[in-house]
Amino acid sequence: MDITISFRHVETDENIRQYVEEKMTRLQKYVETPLDVHVVLSLERKYRHRIDVMFTLNGVVFNAHEVMDDMRAAVDKILDKLERRLTKFRDKTKKYREGKTKHALSPEASEESSIIVTKTIDAKPMDPEEAVMQLQASGDSFIIFREGERDNVCVVYKRKDGKYGLIETLGKRP
Domain extent listing, the chain: 2-113, 124-172
Q: Which residues contact 18 (CB under 8 A, 6 or more apart)?
A: none
Name the pairing type of β-strands 36-44 and 48-57: antiparallel
pLDDT of amino acid 57: 83
Which pLDDT tens digit goes with each residue over 73-130? 999 999 999 999 989 988 888 888 887 776 655 555 445 557 777 778 888 888 888 8
**Taking 60 as the threshold, does the pLDDT of residue 21 lie above it?**
yes
| Global pTM value | 0.54
Reduced DSSP (H G I as helix, E B as strand, rest coil) percent helix, strand, coil of the chain, to 5: 40, 35, 25
pLDDT at residue 51 greater than cutoff 90: yes
Q: What pLDDT does residue 106 have?
A: 55
Any idea which architecture 124-172 has in CATH?
2-Layer Sandwich (3.30)
Q: Which uninterrupted H or E stretch holds 41?
A: strand 36-44
pLDDT 10s digits, 135-174? 888 878 888 988 877 788 899 999 888 889 999 887 655 5
Looking at residue 52, its pLDDT comes to 93
- Give the three-state DSSP class for 105: helix
Identify the CATH number of the domain defined by range 2-113. 3.30.160.100
Predicted confidence (pLDDT) at residue 16 exceeds the cutoff of 70 = yes
pLDDT for the residue numbered 108? 52
